[in-house]
Amino acid sequence: MRGSRTSASWSTASRRLRASNLADFEFSPYVLRSECSIVSSPKKTRGLSSVSELRDQRQNDKYGVRFMSPKVLLGAIGLVLAVSGALYAINDRKFEARRRALQKRSEDTEKTLGIEWARLRDRLEGHMMDLAKPYVDDYISPKHKGWNFRTSPGLYVRAHRSATQDPIKLRSAILYGQRDGVAGCLLETHNDDAIRGVADAGAFAEQPWNLRRAYESVRVLDELWRSEVVAAKDMQLRVLEAQFDVSVRDEIPLALRIVKEAEFFLFVVDEELEGNSPSHVTPMSDLQRIEHPVRIGLVNMKSGELDARLRIVTSATATYPTSDEETRATIERQANNCAIGRLAKSKLE
């Protein structure tokens, strides 16, 4: 007969049982076996397995990215350079096409508007070159009396005699021409028609019209301008394209209209100072400050005939309100030019 167990004996036996049970456990990744088996399910993956693998790979990398090998890196650089080169070649071909197109437009326009302008230009330049020949004497046409040209639309230009010996030099000089006191004091006109609101009277608000503006407008038709197109870079070509469009659309038609409708052509040719060698040319800005011979020509544009030819030598005494040299020079030029204009006016009245 077994004796009854005390609480102390039960406690000892319980500890031995727990130790023996723990020794009997077997561990594996998925199953825990003992006297009572416990089964665990596999780890679940979120989304696609390939995405999960990439996510794990990034987590395992120290910086989150893998560096490319040298071969892969060189290949990528080569690809970028090849694409860049191809794009550059395409853009370069487009640019050259634009350049050739602008040159051709200039050449084609020269064969249309350019021919019309050349006929008018040669006629005007011929009068100036005739006036620059060795001077004979003053001349006023018998038809001049009663011709009130001062109130009519006209053209004006001024150049040094040395520039009138060659058409190329003359055209260059005209491009630098300015209206001055000779025209202002000789004509002293007011546009009465414009004041009364007569249609198109405002077209000749600048009376006489400076011929330089016509030469500027047709500059897009000559070889010198086309040479600028050949040498132009991208932004320069854009400017030249815009310049050509404005000239052909607006400026050249206006210039042709004004020249055709002008009723007189007033032009001034400055002689060099007496005593200077023929090769010496005093700048116009300095020459106009000094008394020197000036030739004035007046042509009736409707008949094409010379109306008057004058040679004037005069100057004026100016008053200087300032000691500034530039201001004094301007006053001297204006005073002398106005004296020339008023003397010419008195001879033509």
Please state, in angstroms and as integers, the Cα–Cα distance from residue 336 to each residue in 34, 190, 191, 208, 290, following that order.
Answer: 128, 22, 25, 20, 8
Q: How far apart are CA 282 and CA 294, in angstroms?
A: 14
Asked if residue 267 is part of any domain, the answer here is yes
Residue 272 and residue 259 in contact, taking contact as beta carbons nearer than 8 Å: no
* Prediction pTM value: 0.69
**Beta strands 38-39 and 294-300: pairing type?**
unpaired
> Confidence class of residue 189 from pLDDT cuts 50, 70 and 90?
low
Predicted confidence (pLDDT) per residue in 194-252, tens digit: 445 444 444 444 679 999 999 999 999 988 899 999 998 888 999 999 999 999 999 99
Structural domain includes residue 51: no
Quote the CA–CA distance of 301 and 253 in Å, as a whole number: 19
In a domain, 87, yes or no: no
Question: Pick the residue with more confidence: 185 or 1?
Answer: 185
The reply to whether 32 falls in a domain is no
Residue 58 within a domain:
no
pLDDT at site 220: 93
User: 312 - beta bridge partners?
Assistant: 294
Q: Rounded to an integer, what distance in angstroms lies between the CA atom of residue 219 and that of residue 87?
A: 35
| pLDDT band of 324, cuts 50, 70, 90 | confident
Give the amino acid at 107.
E
Q: Say how many C-beta atoms besides its own lie within 10 A of residue 311's C-beta.
A: 16
Does 268 map to a domain? yes
Whether 187 is covered by a domain: the verdict is yes
Report the pLDDT value the prediction gives residue 86, as an integer from 0 to 100. Answer: 66
For residue 292, tell me if it sits in a domain: yes
> For residue range 262-314, what is the model confidence (pLDDT) as tens digits?
999 999 999 998 877 766 788 998 999 999 999 999 999 999 999 999 999 99
Cβ atoms of residues 298 and 266 within 8 Å? yes
Q: Cβ contacts of residue 288 below 8 Å, gap of 6+?
A: 180, 270, 332, 333, 336, 337
293 preceded by a cis bond (ω within 30 of 0): no
Q: Domain tally for the chain? A: 1
Structural domain for 257, as ranges: 101-348
- Whether the pLDDT of residue 154 is over 60: the answer is yes
Cβ distance 280 to 274 under 8 Å? no
Strand order in the sheet with 38-39: 26-27, 31-33, 38-39
Give the separation between CA 141 and CA 144, rounded to whole angstroms.
Answer: 5
pLDDT tens for each residue of 69-84:
677 677 777 777 777 7
Q: Please state, in angstroms and rounded to a whole number, the distance separating the CA atoms of residues 179 and 209.
A: 9
